[in-house]
Structure 1
């Protein structure tokens, strides 16, 4: 998080100086909230996708086909879809601290329960319950960040928060590999130990959420009166400007064409994200015989690339004050990387293709979220962000399921499945261009301060 200490919030060379109160307020909020929220999302995402790393052993021990595994892994997102908007409205009503803590306790318990599934049916049931339990966490935090950071900082701020996705996979893959080697300890499979041990941090962090988070700037004892006033005035003025264009009620966002369109933009990015999260270990393992630990490090490489580039791309987007084309370019890189991975069977070119795809997906995500939060506010923002996330995360259901079906029907290879995944970011590019044609999609550049 070192970039937050100076360069990330300083003006570009040659730009005007940022007022001292703005500099100190944004830096304090970033240091106070982001490391803890990144840690929470790290645990959340790891608990959501560690099933992918458990996949080869689970499929063998429970006699699951690729289709059955992909369906169970992705069915999480159907429940997620149903409960996302109600959960985010509850967060707006009850406050972030209490609601996020509730989410973390329930998902921790159900994530650990995956250790005790015995077949396809119980696997599906636990994944559905896990999706319902975790619904609202990610869009809730995105909405929460809009209560603390002006729009011109959100590309990098969301980038730092979503840094937890590739970081959890990069670090979590080797850790999961070691845990899988606990096979036979106390009569449990290694994948059972992995689910149990990796569920514990969520329960511990839930206590930290209640003790540490602050719902709104006005309640922040760790800010000076001047810093609170600057944040409140700045965020209130941004909300006034948005509502001067149009004020949305929360239910109107569910029918808004632009909001729904953004949901499908997000689906085009999320589908390959989760499909690779669930199947990438199997794709790599199919190249040659590798041990669990070696597989963990190989699987971590594309995510390490994504972790670094995600933050840098969000920073770049903020500096130039542009959202649409920076999102579209990153999505194009995702397609190119998936095509390279599909067309090569060697370990090195396959990993390089997956790394380029990882760059494209993870670079696009934080910049994308700056688009809808630029015109939604209040309960409309809570509902709209959740609705976009709900529609987009349906890709987490259909993507792995379709990939599993294609894999089974094509003799077990990944060529056609990766081609299908490569087409989805193209849909995102087309929609971004159409949805924001003639609209102002730029944030005020940091350098203009």
Structure 2
């Protein structure tokens, strides 16, 4: 068996895992992520028809993340206990049902309740996926894998823009508003894919039939070596995650990143509409909004690849945050829609592309329950930021009648987050690895 393990071609094993795993996880996330952010595409029509103020919209858009933050940690610990297959399926089915029910929103209260329930049902999905990847990839391969998976969040915007644009044009068909067709048509696929998880997703490498026994043994050995090399084998309990100073520095950086991500996701169509002078409809703005997401998807893969190539994480994260800071500041001073789109593209590229090295740095020094807890803690704190971002932008917009103040504030926060990322050092590193 030793000779068989030594004869395994590692690159072929990782290529096989990536081919079998990443496209399916990507599909799950891109469909589910649409349910999280499609309210941004529906915003203009919902505000007009339901007479929501910017504060009401920002509160409803952001309250999703309070529901998510409250349940992320217990949900991720439950996934570690019962397995990814059952828990991811439960998340997606319940999430899809609530997303479809968004078509019945009428009052601000119903908007708040359904968005909160959507977040509660979604809790654990993203951190669960990140934790799930640690079962398949050692840390020196993980940034690329995470980056490929994370492109789903940006490509959701690429797919979601034209799709939402087409659905919004169904306004009045069968007596439903365009935004109601959007929620109905984008919620049902999530339910169906959730059901498919029960049949297609495997919990761990030893359960799959497409890896040979010697490949499974080789992978298990690689993962164990990786845990020992970076200290994950020594830090596997929940208390180990809580006691790790690096985790809390990264939590600050992630908090800021999520403020920014959901300013882009939930406010970009409305920000761009201010430069159009009312000349463009919601469906046209939705198409314009695909450009930043497309650029972010490409840049995310490039940054993840380079981070694994150099085995460097902190400077990659900080550099991406500084790029985002530049984008937000530039948007604040833009005077036409073309410049605003380019500036928002910079912001999106920076915020999305940091995720590959960020999650690799986090999960490389913790194992088992500690890794699951760390990812959940970070996403919980990030969820608070994701709520405060949309809410604050809406509040500032109602008070000042401008997005400028909020965009400048976000730029300053991104610079501070870059400094936090540079300060985050793990206690144990491989001699060849730069955290």
Of the three residues 418, 421, 427, the one matched with 1:429 is 418
- Confirm or deny: 8 A CA contact 1:178 1:292 kept in the other structure: no
Of the three residues 138, 144, 149, the one matched with 2:126 is 138
- Confirm or deny: 8 A CA contact 2:99 2:183 kept in the other structure: yes
- Confirm or deny: 8 A CA contact 1:49 1:277 kept in the other structure: yes
Partner of 2:388: 398
Partner of 1:347: 337
CA distance in 1, matches of 2:230, 2:406: 41
Counterparts of 1:277-292 in structure 2 under 5 Å?
Answer: 277-288=265-276, 289-292=279-282
Structure 1 residues 415, 140: closer, same or farther in 2, change over 3 A?
same
CA distance in 1, matches of 2:12, 2:272: 46
TM-score between both structures, scaled by the size of structure 1: 0.92
Partner of 2:297: 307
Structure 1 residues 348, 162: closer, same or farther in 2, change over 3 A?
same
Structure 1 residues 245, 104: closer, same or farther in 2, change over 3 A?
closer
CA distance in 1, matches of 2:245, 2:54: 36
Of the three residues 11, 14, 33, the one matched with 1:26 is 14
TM-score between both structures, scaled by the size of structure 2: 0.94
- Confirm or deny: 8 A CA contact 1:342 1:415 kept in the other structure: yes
CA distance in 2, matches of 1:395, 1:442: 35
Structure 1 residues 79, 351: closer, same or farther in 2, change over 3 A?
same
CA distance in 2, matches of 1:80, 1:161: 20
- CA-based RMSD: 1.8
Q: How many residues align?
A: 427
Structure 1 residues 250, 80: closer, same or farther in 2, change over 3 A?
same
Structure 1 unaligned segments of length 5 or more: list them: 1-17
Query: Is the aligned partner of 1:233 residue 2:206?
Result: no
Partner of 1:321: 311
Query: Is the aligned partner of 1:419 residue 2:408?
Result: yes
Query: Is the aligned partner of 1:149 residue 2:142?
Result: no
Partner of 1:108: 96
Report deviation, 1:243: 4.2
1:247-298: CA deviations, max 9, x gaps? 2421442454332222221111111111111110011111112133321221
Structure 1 residues 19, 274: closer, same or farther in 2, change over 3 A?
farther
- Confirm or deny: 8 A CA contact 2:232 2:365 kept in the other structure: no
Report deviation, 1:342: 0.7
SS at match of 2:312: coil
CA distance in 2, matches of 1:226, 1:156: 24
- Confirm or deny: 8 A CA contact 1:108 1:199 kept in the other structure: yes
**Greater mean deviation of Cα atoms: 181-190 or 291-300:** 291-300
SS at match of 2:366: coil
1:56-84: CA deviations, max 9, x gaps? 11111111110111011101111111100
Of the three residues 60, 85, 99, the one matched with 1:72 is 60
1:208-227: CA deviations, max 9, x gaps? 21111111111111101111
- Confirm or deny: 8 A CA contact 2:45 2:282 kept in the other structure: no
SS at match of 2:280: coil
Structure 1 residues 443, 391: closer, same or farther in 2, change over 3 A?
farther
Structure 1 residues 183, 443: closer, same or farther in 2, change over 3 A?
farther
1:318-374: CA deviations, max 9, x gaps? 111110101111110000111111111211111111111111111111111111111
